[in-house]
Structures are given as C-alpha cells and as structure tokens.
Amino acid sequence: MTPRPSNSTLGGKGASTLAGMGARGARRQRRRDYPPGAVIGRRVSQDNIELVRSAFDAWNRGEIEAFADHVAEDVVWLEVSGRPEGGDSERLGRDRMRQSLESLFEAWESYHLQVERIHEVGDRVVAVVREVARGRASGLEIDSRWGYLVTVGGGQIVRIEAYRDASLALQIAGVGESGIGT
C-alpha cells in the first residue's frame, strides 16, 4: 500500500481535496504551493538560474519584499568593487539588505538591473547586468555593467557578490567573456 501524503506535504490541502481534482489538477495545485525558488522536479541548475532571474525581476518592479523572499535570513551581500567611496561594503542578513534597498529606491527615481547574460557555475550563478538608473533629486543618469556572483543553497540566495567590473566577476567564476550563455 502506498502511503498517502500528509497535509503538510500538500501545502495545507487535504489529500481528499487533491484527489477530487484528478492527477493533473493535483500536480498543478501542489506546484503553486511551493515557495519561490523551490525545486519541483526540474534540473537544479535551471532552478538556480530561474531563482536569480526571479529575484532580479522583483528588484526591477521595486518589490523589496518579493526580492527578500528569494534570499536566506542570513544572506551576505558584498559589494566587492566599484563603490564611489572606495573599498568593499558588506551587508549581513535579510533585514539589513531590505534597509539598503529601501534607501537605494528612495534615492533613485528609477533603478533597474537588466540581465544580459546568466550562467550557472557550480552552486553559483554568474550574471552580467546592465544598471540603468536616474537620480531622484539630481536627475543623474547611470548606464553601466555589473557582474554578480550569486550563491544558492537550499532553494534560496545565500550570498551575493557585486562587482562593478563585470569581467572580474566572470574571471572569478572561471568563465571567460565569450563562455557565458544567456
């Protein structure tokens, strides 16, 4: 006899409710109950890429909470190079990251990161993004490229390394300029 799934494995839906939906409907319902970035049967590498893309999409919509849903509670965000004031900057934890994003979105009228290239390297995703922004008070416009090395663990983003020099991020990831796919 095959054991029946518990309510907790079905996202709170009782097995009898899902059984009445038919196999196809039950699969569709279970898929909707997974949190963002959860692995639901596709290749893990594709899931990691989709998780990172989804996080960038939330960022570009200005949805800080949706972005935060993609990251671990103890996420590490490190700006390794390219800060106008020089040096590295490290933010530890989801709450600190949330505060930083709130400040960023307050200072800029618009701020988008357009994914140009993305590829998985081990448990990390390397992305080259185009940063396009306009200052709220100054009207200053920015159009530049960043490289992001994003480490994924347990279906969540656990570390973000941002490099002003995208080629440096690619080099650290062990991927040449021409060797990264989209």
Find the mean pLDDT for residues 83-112.
Answer: 81
Please tell me the pTM assigned to this model: 0.69
Q: How confident is the model at residue 116 (pLDDT cuts 50, 70, 90)?
A: very high
In this predicted structure, the answer to whether residue 11 has a pLDDT above a threshold of 70 is no
Which range, 7-11, 41-45, 96-100, has the best average confidence (pLDDT)? 96-100
In this predicted structure, the answer to whether residue 14 has a pLDDT above a threshold of 90 is no
Distance of CA 24 to the CA centre of its chain: 29
Listed residue (13, 148, 160) closest to 93, CA to CA: 160
Least confident span in 28-37, 74-83, 118-127, 145-154: 28-37
Q: What is the pLDDT of residue 5?
A: 37
Rounded-to-integer distance, Cα 69 and Cα 53, Å: 13
Higher pLDDT among residues 96 and 11, named by residue: 96
Mean per-residue pLDDT of the chain: 76
Q: How confident is the model at residue 92 (pLDDT cuts 50, 70, 90)?
A: confident
Q: How confident is the model at residue 109 (pLDDT cuts 50, 70, 90)?
A: very high
Q: What is the pLDDT of residues 34-47, one digit of tens each?
A: 344 333 333 446 89
Q: What is the pLDDT of residue 177?
A: 67
Higher pLDDT among residues 145 and 10, named by residue: 145
Share of the chain above pLDDT 70, in %: 67
Helices and strands in the chain, H and E counts: 6, 6
Q: Which domains are delineated in the chain? A: 1-33 (no CATH), 44-176 (3.10.450.50)
Q: How confident is the model at residue 82 (pLDDT cuts 50, 70, 90)?
A: low
- Using alpha carbons only, how large is the chain's radius of gyration in Å? 19
Tell me how far CA of residue 159 lies from CA of 60, 76, 135, 148, in angstroms. 19, 5, 27, 10
